[in-house]
Structures are given as C-alpha cells and as structure tokens.
C-alpha cells in the first residue's frame, strides 16, 4: 500500500472529509488533495503532521534493515 492510499483509507475510517482532515492536521486542503493523489514531492514535516493524527510518522529507513546491527 502506498502513502496516498494509506492516508485516504485512514481518513475515511475515522469519517473525516478532506477539509476536516486539513483543519485538524493544520495543513492546507490543497496539501491533503496532493497527498491523497500521490504527488511525489511533498514536505515531510507536513506529511508527518497528517500521519500524527493516526499515530504514525515516516522517516528514514535503512535500505537493508538488520535489527541485529
């Protein structure tokens, strides 16, 4: 699942409209629309503002994850 689908599914699961999500997250409606449409270049801090409402965040992940190192 990509980020756009994830946000849209989470938003709908809590019965929020795009304008309501934008207001709660403190971002613009245009940003929410671009996020849900899969725009490839978005500000990470704003993405995390939105994801924080659902208890998530994004960040750097090593390409080869090894929990023992």
The domains of the chain are located at 3-52
DSSP codes, 28-55? -HHHHHHHHTT-S---HHHHHHHHHTTT
pTM of the model: 0.82
Q: What is the mean pLDDT of residues 29-54?
A: 95
pLDDT at res. 64: 77
Average pLDDT, rounded, for the chain: 92
User: For the domain 3-52, what is the CATH code?
Assistant: 1.10.260.40
pLDDT at res. 69: 55
- The pLDDT of residue 54 is above 80: yes
pLDDT at res. 66: 65
Q: What is the mean pLDDT of residues 36-52?
A: 95
């Amino acid at each position: 699942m990509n980020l756009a689908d994830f946000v849209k599914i989470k938003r709908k699961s809590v019965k929020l409209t795009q304008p309501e999500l934008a207001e709660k997250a403190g971002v613009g409606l245009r940003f929410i629309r671009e996020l849900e449409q899969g725009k490839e270049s978005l500000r990470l801090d704003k993405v995390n503002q939105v994801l924080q409402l659902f208890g998530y965040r994004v960040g750097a992940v090593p390409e080869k994850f090894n929990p023992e190192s």
